[in-house]
Amino acid sequence: MPTEVSFEVSVDGINYKQVGKEINNIATSETQAIIKDFTARFNNTDARYISVTAKVLPEAPKGHPGEGKPVWIFADEVMVE
C-alpha cells in the first residue's frame, strides 16, 4: 500500500499545483489484503489535467509475504467527479 498519495491539477499539462495529499494510516506491518480509498476534495479549481502520485516503501516490510522484495501498487480506478 502506498505511504502517501498526492493529487495535483494543471490547466496546461506542464505546470501542476498540489490540491491534496493523503497519508496512509494503515500500519506497514498489516499483512491482510485491504482496500483503501485515497481521496482529495477541492472546489472551484480550474483544471484540465490531473496527476495522482503514490509513494511506496523501497521494499516489502518484515513479516510481509514478499519481505525484502520490491513492492507494487495496484490501482483499480481513479474517479473524478
Q: How far apart (Å, rounded) are the C-alpha atoms in residues 60 and 72?
A: 9
- The one-character DSSP state at 31 is -
What pLDDT is stored for residue 44 in this prediction? 82
Q: How confident is the model at residue 79 (pLDDT cuts 50, 70, 90)?
A: confident
**Mean pLDDT over all residues of the chain?**
89
pTM of the model: 0.82
Angstrom distance (rounded) from CA 46 to CA 9: 8
Split at pLDDT 50, 70, 90, the class of 30 is: confident
Whole-angstrom distance, CA of residue 62 vs CA of residue 32:
14
d(Cα 54, Cα 11) in Å, to the nearest integer?
21
Within 10 A of 7 (CB to CB), how many other CB atoms are there? 20
- Longest Cα separation, the chain: 44
The DSSP call for residue 28 is T
